[in-house]
Amino acid sequence: MIMSNLLAYLRRTSNSILLYLAFIVFTILVLLPVYWMTRSAFAVSTDLIKLPLVYFPQPTLRNFATLLEQVPFGLYLRNSLLFASSTTLATLLVSYLAAYAFARIRFPGSGVLMWILLLSMALPDIGTIVPLYQILKTLHLSDSIAGITLLLTSTLTPFTVWVLVSFIKQVPYEIEEAAILDGASLPQILWHILLPVTVPGLVTMGLINFVNAWNNLLYPLSFTTSPSAKTLSVAITEIYAGFSPWGKPWELIMAVGVTMTVPIVILVLLSQRSIVRGLTGGAIK
């Protein structure tokens, strides 16, 4: 009896140790690139190639000052904020209305149309560059924030619609019927009844779409040529194309990386409760 209890205790302990070791290894793998990026962003270029390796070099803000001198950093940052914010808002607005139509309105071919939307996500972005360029040129939106916002909104909308449909279906239709009998219009139903229920999903998808737009490189790189429309992700490619006496200016590239990472981390920390509700709420029927 004692031996069996001892073996069971050792088995549980070994399983816990293996679980914690796996968690530690996973955490190191996730945080190591973040550490290396932060270290390089706040170090001088000579510390990056020094041997033996300097793990904690003397921090400096010289790299960020150099960025302000070599590229229109403030303009690129403004463009990134404008691009990500406008794309997020446009995607949520269009997707919210479309999700309501798919969840509540019965019309022929609605299921097929939903599948077509989902299958459109399988199209490789690089394969649609030429037709998208022709569309922007026809609309006179090439080399503009509005143009790349329109393109990315059309790319992010299908998945956002699919997620929001499940949130809207959670609301019993009898509540809407009661509101209609009380004289509520469709805008009032969308604003006062459905919106409070779908807020967690909207916040979650808003954050996901913001991150996608903030990090997007393909559309700004392909469809913008002037600094008035370029974003921070394009700045990384421009800096990478430069040279320094020590090779590529990795310290400047990492400084841009830190600048692009900090807003995302702040957003996640501020909205983490809504993210959890949004990720789990759509699965509850």
Q: What is the full per-residue pLDDT of the chain (285 aa) written as tens digits?
A: 566 666 666 677 777 888 889 999 999 999 999 999 999 999 888 888 787 888 888 888 988 988 888 888 889 999 999 999 999 999 999 999 999 989 888 878 777 888 888 888 888 888 889 999 999 999 999 999 999 999 999 999 999 999 898 888 888 888 888 888 888 888 888 888 888 888 888 888 999 999 999 999 999 999 999 999 999 999 888 888 765 555 678 888 899 999 999 988 888 888 777 666 655 655 444
Q: What is the pLDDT of residue 6?
A: 63
**Burial group, residue 96, by CB count within 10 angstroms (0-12, 13-18, 19+):** buried
Q: List the CATH number of the domain containing 231.
A: 1.10.3720.10
84 and 36, same structural domain? no
User: Would you say residue 84 lies in a domain?
Assistant: yes
Q: What is the pLDDT of residue 7?
A: 65
Q: 84 is in which domain, residue-wise?
A: 72-281
Q: What is the pLDDT of residue 2?
A: 63
Could you tell me which of 73, 66, 31 has the C-alpha nearest to residue 45? 66
106 and 14, same structural domain? no
Q: What is the pLDDT of residue 239?
A: 85
- Domain count of the chain? 2
Percent helix, percent strand, percent coil in the chain, to nearest 5:
80, 0, 20
254 and 119, same structural domain? yes
User: Would you say residue 78 lies in a domain?
Assistant: yes
**DSSP characters for 136-180?**
HHHHT-TTSHHHHHHHHHHHHHHHHHHHHHHHHHHS-HHHHHHHH
User: Would you say residue 23 lies in a domain?
Assistant: yes
Region for residue 109 given its phi and psi (left: phi exceeds 0; alpha: psi -120 to 50; beta: otherwise): left
93 and 37, same structural domain? no
213 and 147, same structural domain? yes
Region for residue 173 given its phi and psi (left: phi exceeds 0; alpha: psi -120 to 50; beta: otherwise): alpha
229 and 117, same structural domain? yes
**Taking the model in full, what pTM does it have?**
0.85
Provide the total of helices (H) and of strands (E) in the chain, helices listed first. Answer: 14, 0
76 and 21, same structural domain? no
215 and 90, same structural domain? yes
242 and 115, same structural domain? yes
145 and 29, same structural domain? no
Tell me the CA distances in angstroms from 118 to 109, 111, 171, one per residue in order. Answer: 14, 11, 23
